[in-house]
């Protein structure tokens, strides 16, 4: 499966939503997640993200923390199928690290 990583937090561009053929993105206040059981591994969303927040779960997630987070929150957050207005200050957070600890709620 593909998963959304912390680079998405407070950037939330949502270009990814427009290309997913199975509409498996779910929306939280500060980021989106992918439902791992619904993702068909097509990979088309990965190059669409301006901050490279989307990766296969086999990359950049050695301890499985982000797979777990995507899995858990996709069960309760609402499905999102169309791009909305992204946060006006999204560029300020594009290079920031440690966003999970600082901003995730």
**Interaction of residue 63 with ligand SF4, rule CB under 6 A:** no
Tell which residue, 5, 10, 11, 35, has the closest CA to residue 23.
35
**Interaction of residue 83 with ligand SF4, rule CB under 6 A:** no
CB-based contacts of 101, cutoff 8 Å, min separation 6 = none
> Least separation, in Å, of the C-beta of 1 and ligand SF4?
7
Tell which residue, 45, 43, 42, has the closest CA to residue 80.
45
Query: Among ligand F3S, ligand SF4, none, what does residue 15 contact (CB within 5–8 Å per kind)?
Result: ligand F3S
Instruction: Classify burial at 104, counting beta carbons within 10 Å of its beta carbon; exposed 0-12, middle 13-18, buried 19 or more.
Output: middle
**Interaction of residue 39 with ligand F3S, rule CB under 6 A:** no
> Least separation, in Å, of the C-beta of 5 and ligand SF4?
13
Residues near ligand F3S, by CB under 6 A: 4, 8, 11-16, 32, 48-49, 51, 53-54
């Amino acid at each position: 499966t593909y998963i959304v990583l912390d680079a998405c937090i407070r950037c939330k561009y949502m270009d990814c939503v427009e290309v997913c053929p199975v509409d498996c993105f779910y929306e939280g206040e500060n980021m989106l997640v992918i439902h791992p059981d619904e993702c068909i591994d097509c990979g088309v969303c990965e190059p669409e993200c301006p901050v490279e927040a989307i990766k296969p779960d086999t990359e950049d997630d050695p301890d499985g923390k982000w797979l777990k987070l995507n899995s858990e929150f996709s069960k309760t957050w609402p499905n999102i199928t169309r791009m909305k207005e992204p946060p006006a200050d999204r560029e300020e957070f594009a290079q920031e690290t440690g966003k999970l600890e600082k901003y995730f709620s």
